[in-house]
Amino acid sequence: MKRTVPLMIVMVGGILMMIQYFIPHQYSQVVFDNYTEWAPIVGAFALLLGVGSLTRVHSHRIKRKAPNWPYSWAVLIPLFGMPFLALIWPESLWGGSDSPSVFHFLFMNIQVPIQSTMFSLLAFYIASAAFRAFRAKSALATVLLLSAVIVMLAQVPIGEIFGPWLQNTGLWILRYPNLAAKRAIMLGVGFGILATNLKIIFGVERNWLGGAGE
Q: What DSSP character marks residue 56?
A: H
Helix, strand, or coil (residue 97):
coil
What residues from 100 to 159 belong to the interface with other proteins (CB under 8 A)? 100, 103, 105-124, 126-128, 130-137, 140-141, 143-153, 155-159
**Binding to other proteins by residue 166, rule CB under 8 A?**
no
Q: Determine the Cα–Cα distance for residues 107 and 10; give it in Å rounded to an integer.
A: 38
Rounded Cα gap, residues 203 and 13, in angstroms = 12
At its nearest, how many Å lie between other proteins and the CB of residue 65?
A: 16
Closest approach, Cβ 171 to other proteins, in A, equals 7
62, 82, 95, 166: residue in contact with other proteins (rule CB under 8 A)? 82
Alpha-carbon distance of 75 to 53, in angstroms, equals 12
Shortest spacing between CB 110 and other proteins, in angstroms: 6
Within 10 Å of residue 121's Cβ, how many Cβ atoms? Answer: 9
Contact flag: residue 66 with other proteins (CB under 8 A): no
If one asks whether residue 81 binds other proteins (CB under 8 A), the answer comes out as: yes
Does 195 contact other proteins by CB under 8 A? no
Which 7-46 positions form the footprint of other proteins (CB under 8 A)? Answer: 7, 9-18, 20-22, 29, 32-33, 35-46
For residue 76, state whether it binds other proteins (rule: CB under 8 A).
yes
- Size of the residue set binding other proteins (CB under 8 A): 147
Name the burial class of residue 95, with classes exposed (0-12), middle (13-18) and buried (19+) by CB atoms within 10 angstroms of its CB.
middle
Of 5, 27, 163, 207, which lies in the binding site for other proteins, with binding defined by CB under 8 A?
5
Among 6, 62, 95, 166, binds other proteins (CB under 8 A): 6
- Check binding of 51 to other proteins (CB under 8 A): yes
Type of residue numbered 107: F
Determine the Cα–Cα distance for residues 15 and 22; give it in Å rounded to an integer.
Answer: 11
CA 99 to CA 91: how far, in whole Å? 11
4 binds other proteins (CB under 8 A): no
Q: How many Å is the Cα radius of gyration of the chain? A: 26
